[in-house]
Amino acid sequence: MTDSNDKSDINLLAGSLAYAIKQAQVRCYEILFDFYGPNALTPGRMTALCLIGVQPGISQSALAELLKVNRASVIKVVNNLQALGFIERRPSPSDKRSQALFVTDQGHGELRRLTAITHDYEELVAAELTAAERKTLFRLLAKTAINPARPLSGRAED
C-alpha cells in the first residue's frame, strides 16, 4: 500500500498555475512583512486606505464589495483606520443610512509615505524581472482567473 513509485496522482501542485500564483503571493507577503515592519498597516488596511483615497465618499458597503468582505467585516477595518486618524466617516448627504468615507490630511500623509516606500518594495518584488517582463507579467495576470460565475462582483445565481 501507499506505493510511492506511482507519482501519477500527486502532480497537481507541480503543474498548477493557481499554485504558482499562490506561492508568488506568499513570497510577496514574506517580503512585505519584512520590509514594512511589524507596526505597519496590514495589507488589507493599506488597500482599504488606498481605495478610500481613490474613491472619496465611498460607502462602507461599496468598500466591502471592493475588498470582497461583507459589511460586518469591513467595520473593523474602517474603525481601525479611523482610530488611527487616517480616515473619517461623514454622514452621506443623499442617504441618511449611509456613511461616506474620506481620507484625512493625516491619512494622505500616510499614503504619501506608503507610496514612497512601496516603490522600493515593488523593486524588491520584481528584482529578477526586466521592465518588459514586468509588463508581460502584469498583462498575463490580468487575464488569469477571470471567474465566469462572477462577471460583475457577485455570482450570477445570486
Q: Does 81 bind DNA (CB under 7 A)?
A: no
> What gap in Å lies between CA 52 and CA 110, rounded to an integer?
13
* Kind and range of the H or E run holding 65: helix 60-67
> What gap in Å lies between CA 125 and CA 67, rounded to an integer?
22
Q: Rule CB under 7 A: which of 47-76 touch DNA?
A: 59-62, 64, 68-73, 75-76
Closest separation in Å from C-beta 23 to DNA: 13
Q: Does 46 bind DNA (CB under 7 A)?
A: no
A 10 A CB-CB count for 33 gives 13
Phi (first) and psi of residue 144, to 5 degrees: -95, 140
Q: Which is nearer to DNA, 59 or 111 (CB)?
A: 59
> Which among DNA, its own copies, none contacts residue 126 (Cβ within 5 to 8 A by kind)?
its own copies
Cell of 121: 518594495
> What gap in Å lies between CA 10 and CA 7, rounded to an integer?
6
Cα 147-72-150 angle, rounded to 5 deg: 10
Q: Rule CB under 7 A: which of 102-121 touch DNA?
A: none
> Which among its own copies, DNA, none contacts residue 156 (Cβ within 5 to 8 A by kind)?
none
Closest separation in Å from C-beta 3 to DNA: 22
> Which among DNA, its own copies, none contacts residue 10 (Cβ within 5 to 8 A by kind)?
its own copies
Q: Could you tell me how many residues of this chain bind DNA (CB under 7 A)?
A: 24
Phi (first) and psi of residue 121, to 5 degrees: -60, -45
Under the rule (CB under 7 A), what is the footprint of DNA? 42, 44, 59-62, 64, 68-73, 75-78, 89, 92, 95-99
